[in-house]
């Protein structure tokens, strides 16, 4: 089991966390948002949080999911951040949404580097361009990393506005030719299995709950096992990589390890554990569990 956090990213910082909140800097702006895992006390005072934050999310009393933002005068919305690391040079549009999200999950940056490295390795050894499938792909950080490394990328998400957001990020990053699919992930994967298609890379970041474009219901505990079985049928078993991330309080890394071992069997070069970000007081905020493996040994991954 491993604990993984991205390397230093100048345009992102977790400043403080505690009392079920987190204080983060995205580029030029600092945001205060709810965070159910931050059960400890804050290190900074409430006054320091108020003076630092450009926008603070307040939950709607009528909805556990939605809310609105209290925004300081002069803050631009949307705004932009860049991510540069080795061969990766990505640009993201950020915006304040009613679901507290801003269009980016910074803890995924280590996975972006993993994806980029792995595709570089596949490009060096494989006869053709790797095909990568990104499911529940949101605004496309993993898709952009894969495309920038030269893969043919299929980006699947059930929410059409999110696909439009991802397309903008592709354009801002100077990329093109990502295949966009607005569809329920389970339906899409089952159809790909029937067609006999295979992918060298598969990426999953499923939510705890969700709805497809035609009202299909997604419940992580009920549907994940069958989806993973279909993904196992889709994955090329010669040259491959696989990543799954879960952000759900009901899933531990041990649970995910058991599930992956049962479905995929013995896989090479596996890594599994927790993703986290550390704040300025060195409190480590857990931000989901992950499992990833690859046909190329991790120590032999190309440098980006």
The yes-or-no verdict on residue 303 having pLDDT over 50 is no
Q: What is the pLDDT, as a whole number, of residue 124?
A: 84
Q: Who wins on pLDDT, 301 or 154? A: 154
Which of 31-40, 54-63, 145-154, 193-202 is predicted least confidently? Answer: 54-63
Q: What is the pLDDT, as a whole number, of residue 298?
A: 53
d(CA 291, CA 246) in angstroms, rounded, equals 9
How confident is the model over 83-111, as a mean pLDDT? Answer: 96
Q: Who wins on pLDDT, 304 or 47? A: 47
Q: What is the pLDDT, as a whole number, of residue 304?
A: 36
Q: What is the pLDDT, as a whole number, of residue 127?
A: 65
Q: What is the pLDDT, as a whole number, of residue 39?
A: 97
The yes-or-no verdict on residue 300 having pLDDT over 60 is no
Pick the CATH number of 2-81 from 3.40.50.1110, 2.30.140.10, 3.40.50.300, 2.60.40.1180: 2.60.40.1180
Kindly indicate the confidence band of residue 214, based on its pLDDT and cuts at 50, 70 and 90. Answer: confident
Q: 34-81 pLDDT, tens per residue?
A: 999 999 999 999 999 999 999 999 988 877 778 999 999 999 999 999
CATH class in words for 104-300: alpha beta
How confident is the model over 284-289, as a mean pLDDT? Answer: 96
Instruction: Give the residue extent of every domain in the chain.
Output: 2-81, 104-300
Q: How far is CA 76 from the centre of its chain?
A: 24
How confident is the model over 247-263, as a mean pLDDT? Answer: 90
63 in Cβ contact with 118 (< 8 Å):
no
Query: For residue 78, is the peptide bond before it cis, meaning its omega torsion is within 30 degrees of 0?
Result: yes
Q: Who wins on pLDDT, 128 or 278? A: 278
Q: How far is CA 246 from the centre of its chain?
A: 9
Q: 117-138 pLDDT, tens per residue?
A: 999 999 987 768 999 999 999 9
Within 3-54, residue ranges assigned H as helices are 46-52
d(CA 239, CA 7) in angstroms, rounded, equals 27
pTM: 0.93
- Structural tokens at position 137: 């792909």
The yes-or-no verdict on residue 97 having pLDDT over 90 is yes
User: What residues are paired with 18 via a beta bridge?
Assistant: 21
Cβ atoms within 10 Å of 238's Cβ, excluding its own: 9
Q: Which residues contact 127 (CB under 8 A, 6 or more apart)?
A: none
């Amino acid at each position: 089991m491993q604990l993984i956090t991205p390397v230093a990213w100048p345009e992102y910082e977790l400043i403080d966390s505690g009392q079920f909140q987190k204080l983060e800097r995205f580029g030029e702006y600092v945001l205060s948002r709810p965070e159910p895992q931050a059960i400890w006390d804050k290190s900074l005072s409430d006054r320091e949080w108020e003076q630092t934050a450009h926008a603070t999310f307040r939950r709607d009393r009528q909805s556990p999911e939605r809310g609105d933002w209290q925004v300081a005068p002069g803050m631009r919305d949307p705004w932009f951040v860049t991510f540069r690391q080795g061969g990766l040079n990505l640009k993201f549009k950020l915006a304040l949404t009613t679901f507290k999200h801003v269009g980016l999950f910074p803890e995924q940056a280590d996975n972006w580097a993993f994806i980029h490295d792995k595709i570089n390795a596949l490009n060096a050894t494989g006869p053709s361009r790797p095909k990568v499938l990104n499911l529940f792909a949101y605004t496309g950080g993993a898709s952009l990393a894969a495309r920038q490394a030269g893969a043919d990328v299929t980006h699947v998400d059930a929410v059409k506005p999110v696909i439009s957001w991802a397309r903008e990020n592709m354009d801002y990053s100077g990329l093109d030719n990502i295949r966009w699919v607005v569809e329920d992930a389970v339906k899409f994967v089952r159809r790909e299995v029937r067609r006999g298609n295979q992918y060298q890379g598969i990426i999953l970041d499923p939510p705890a709950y969700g709805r497809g474009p035609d009202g299909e219901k997604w419940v992580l505990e009920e549907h994940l096992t069958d989806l993973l079985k279909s993904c196992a049928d889709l994955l090329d078993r010669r040259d491959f990589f696989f990543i799954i991330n879960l952000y759900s309080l009901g899933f531990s890394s041990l649970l995910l390890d058991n599930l992956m071992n049962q479905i995929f069997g013995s896989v090479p070069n596996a890594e599994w554990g927790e993703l986290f970000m550390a704040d300025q007081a060195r409190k480590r905020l857990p931000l989901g569990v992950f499992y990833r493996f690859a046909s190329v040994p991790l120590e032999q991954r190309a440098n980006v």
